[in-house]
Amino acid sequence: MWLSISLLVLSCCLSSASYTCENIALFGIAETDTYHVSNMTAVPASNSTGSSAFCDLQIVIGGRINAWVRLPDTSNWNGRFVQYGCGGACGYNPFDDADASYGGPVAALARGYAVSTTDMGELRPNVARLTDQLTFACSGLPYGDSNYLPFHNNFQMRVDWGHLATHLTTIVSKEVIETYYGAAPSFSYHLGGSTGGRQGLGLVFFIQSNQDPSGRQY
C-alpha cells in the first residue's frame, strides 16, 4: 500500500516537473554513446550585443564529443531548431568563432530559434596553418590546417569528424529541446559553409537525419 502511494506521488512529481537552466542536469543515451550536461549558464539579455536571454549548455557525448546548445526563454521559443556547422578541422566551439557571420547564433536566438553546434570530436588548440607544400606532400595528410594532424593515428576521431559527432549532436540537441520546452521542434535546419556545408549534406543524404532540406549550405 505504502509502496503504491509512493510510486504514485513520484510519478506525479516527475510528470509535472519543469526544467530551468539551473536544474537541467540531464544525462542519457544517444544511439551509440551516453551524454551528460557538463555546464549550464543562464545568460541575460544584452542591449550592447542585441542578444536575448538564453540558457547556455555544454554537453559531452561519449566522453569525447563536445556540443553546445543555446535555448531561448520558453516565452520566446518559436518552435524551431538550427544546428550550426564548423569550419576546417574544427576542434573548437564554433559559437566562439568571430567569423561565424552566416546568420550567426545571436541573430537566430533573437528570432526565437534554439541553436546548437559541435566541435566534431575533440577540443584541441587551433594551430598555425602549414603553408609548406612539401610538408603536406610528404605527410599524406589532407591539405588544410595542421589541426588535422591528430586524425592521423586516431580512427575514432576520423569517424567522429566524418559524420558521427554531427549526427549525435542533432539527436542530443533535439532531446534536450524537447525536455526543456516540453515539445519537440516543429522544424529543424542546418546552417554552415565549407566543412559546415559538408556536415549538412551528410545529415540530409548520408545519415538522413530529420533536418528539413532547406538549411543553407555552400
Q: How far apart are alpha carbons 210 and 212 in whole angstroms?
A: 6
> Which of the pair, 116 or 51, is modelled with greater confidence?
116
**142 occurs within a structural domain:** yes
Strands 33-43 and 80-84: unpaired
**Residue 210: Cβ within 10 Å count:** 15
**15 occurs within a structural domain:** no
Name the DSSP class of 138.
H
**7 occurs within a structural domain:** no
**143 occurs within a structural domain:** yes
**5 occurs within a structural domain:** no
pLDDT on residue 164:
92
Q: What are the pLDDT digits (tens) for 60-82?
A: 999 999 999 999 999 999 999 99
**14 occurs within a structural domain:** no
Q: Look over the chain and give the mean of its residue pLDDT values, rounded to a whole number.
A: 77
From edge to edge, which strands make up the β-sheet containing 187-191? 27-30, 33-43, 54-61, 65-72, 114-118, 80-84, 187-191
Q: What is the CATH number of the domain that holds 64?
A: 3.40.50
pLDDT on residue 33:
92
Give the residue carrying C-alpha cell 528570432.
Answer: 111
Contact by Cβ (8 Å): 166, 202: yes
**116 occurs within a structural domain:** yes
Q: What are the pLDDT digits (tens) for 101-125?
A: 456 788 899 999 999 999 998 776 5
Model confidence band, residue 133 (pLDDT cutoffs 50, 70, 90): very low
Number of folded domains in the chain? 1
Q: How far apart are alpha carbons 49 and 141 in whole angstroms?
A: 40
Phi, psi of 166 (to 5 degrees): -65, -45
What is the residue range of 158's domain?
21-206
